[in-house]
């Protein structure tokens, strides 16, 4: 644990943006080689894959993601990130491990060390995957497109985990749909600029965009059935540079979360219809442009494999620490891309990284219902900082226990 803690602090202090994880990948590759793994670098640009054979038996894939986020850290930690990066638009931005991928990398390297050190406890083949670009939904597809399935042993099961704002030491998961599908895109609205004193001679894209933002909220409230669910978020709205100039165009970035393919097929065309209609109503000189940014598939846990993993985790941690997730999370993941490409089952779970003291007044069943005490930062927050103990140990032990459900020596 002391060595893992040092590694974690270093990774946390030096995050890298999606598909730019060069330093992290170099560290991962060096550590795996020192442990005795067969290592391949540069898979899907910056991905790292380690393979360890130990006789006949199943092939188990364990995955961790490596990328950080364009967030300025505000945790006050002595190992807080002050690093910056260049985003895809060429802008210098602060970078932070605001989603805990540094935890994921550390835990998988810890599990890999134990597997390599004692082969008497397991059999078969292990494939550890350190994936780039999860935050942008690029990484898993990039690795698969780079021949992952053909170049490495085909897995019999894919296993992965994610740290979150649950009490440290607790694990939550569910069979079936675990996390939402997500679609993000950029919308350009075209107006006709002019002087702020004479709006009658212009087509104001800010007014047009404001109408779009307001009207999009009705897509969910009025076009999605009460028993279904979806989230439509306009997370970015940019237009103009000066207060007395009406600009020519506006740009919106929209994110959509759905849990059912039929709902997705209803919501996405509705958004396009609303945007086009508002542009026409405003007298826009040109139809809006829609440019995709990324898309995440549904994260779906195989029912039989999940039952197997939950039993193994309960044996390791105690059943009181393995809690059912009552409903799917609206967050998204590209982890399922590996299992889909391999044609095998997959299981994904979440483990706590928050200080358990913040949850002392809650029954764990309330925590399982996704109750979040005031002041506990969520993923993507500038204050998100998992407690080291027992978070790292829990993540390592969870990977070992889940994999052992397939590869334990008889």
Residues 6 or more apart in contact with residue 220 via CB below 8 angstroms: 230, 231, 232, 267
Taking the C-alpha atoms of residue 264 and residue 268, their distance in angstroms, rounded to an integer, is 6
Residue 324 has a CB neighbour count (10 Å cut-off) of: 12
Taking the C-alpha atoms of residue 168 and residue 391, their distance in angstroms, rounded to an integer, is 5
CB 257 within 8 A of CB 180: yes
Residue 80 has a CB neighbour count (10 Å cut-off) of: 17
Residues 6 or more apart in contact with residue 4 via CB below 8 angstroms: 106, 109, 110, 392, 396
Residues 6 or more apart in contact with residue 78 via CB below 8 angstroms: none
CB 60 within 8 A of CB 125: yes
Residues 6 or more apart in contact with residue 203 via CB below 8 angstroms: 191, 192, 282, 283, 284, 285
First vs last C-alpha separation in the chain: 28
Catalytic residues: 65, 135
Full DSSP string of 349-405? EEEEEE-GGGGTTS-HHHHHTT---TT-PPTT-TT----HHHHHHHHHHHHHHHHHH
Category of 55 on φ-ψ map: left (φ > 0), alpha (ψ -120 to 50) or beta: left
**Structure tokens of 138?**
């690029």
**Structure tokens of 169?**
């030491």
Question: Phi and psi at residue 60, in whole multiples of 5°?
Answer: -115, 125
Taking the C-alpha atoms of residue 187 and residue 195, their distance in angstroms, rounded to an integer, is 24
**Structure tokens of 59?**
């092939």
Per DSSP, which regions of 262-341 are E strands? 289-296, 299-301, 322-324
């Amino acid at each position: 644990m002391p060595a893992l803690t040092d590694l974690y602090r270093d990774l946390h202090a030096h995050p890298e943006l999606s598909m730019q994880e060069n330093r992290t990948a170099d560290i991962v590759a060096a550590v795996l080689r020192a442990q005795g793994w067969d290592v391949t670098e540069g898979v899907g640009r910056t991905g790292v894959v380690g393979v360890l054979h130990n006789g006949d038996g199943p092939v188990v894939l364990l995955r961790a993601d490596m990328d950080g986020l364009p967030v300025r850290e505000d945790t006050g930690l002595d190992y807080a990130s002050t690093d910056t990066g260049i985003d895809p638009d060429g802008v210098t931005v602060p970078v932070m491990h605001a989603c805990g991928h540094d935890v994921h990398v550390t835990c998988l390297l810890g599990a890999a060390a134990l597997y390599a050190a004692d082969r008497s406890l397991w059999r078969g083949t292990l494939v550890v995957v350190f994936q780039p670009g999860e935050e942008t939904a690029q990484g898993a597809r990039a690795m698969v497109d780079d021949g992952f399935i053909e170049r490495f042993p085909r897995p019999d099961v894919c296993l992965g985990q994610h740290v979150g704002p649950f009490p440290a030491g607790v694990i939550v998961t569910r069979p079936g749909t675990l996390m939402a599908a997500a679609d993000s895109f950029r919308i350009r609205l075209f107006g006709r600029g002019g002087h702020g004193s004479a709006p009658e001679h212009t087509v104001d894209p800010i007014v047009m965009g404001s109408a779009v933002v307001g009207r999009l909220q009705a897509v969910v409230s009025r076009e999605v059935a009460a028993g279904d669910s979806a989230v439509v978020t306009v997370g970015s709205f940019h237009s103009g540079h000066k207060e007395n100039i009406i600009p020519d165009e506006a740009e919106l970035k929209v994110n959509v979360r759905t849990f059912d393919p039929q709902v997705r097929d209803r919501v996405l065309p509705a958004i396009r219809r609303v945007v086009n209609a508002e542009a026409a109503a405003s007298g826009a000189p040109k139809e809006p442009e829609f440019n995709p940014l990324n898309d995440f598939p549904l994260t779906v846990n195989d029912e039989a494999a999940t039952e197997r993993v939950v039993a193994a985790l309960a044996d390791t941690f105690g059943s009181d620490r393995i809690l059912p997730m009552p409903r799917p999370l609206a967050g998204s993941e590209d982890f399922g891309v590996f299992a889909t490409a391999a044609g095998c089952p997959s299981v994904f779970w979440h483990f706590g990284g928050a200080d358990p003291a913040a949850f002392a007044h809650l029954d764990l069943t309330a925590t399982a219902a996704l109750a979040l005490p005031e002041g506990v930062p969520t993923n993507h927050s500038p204050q998100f900082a998992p407690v080291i103990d027992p978070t790292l140990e829990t993540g390592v032990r969870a990977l070992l226990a889940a994999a052992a459900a397939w590869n334990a020596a008889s």
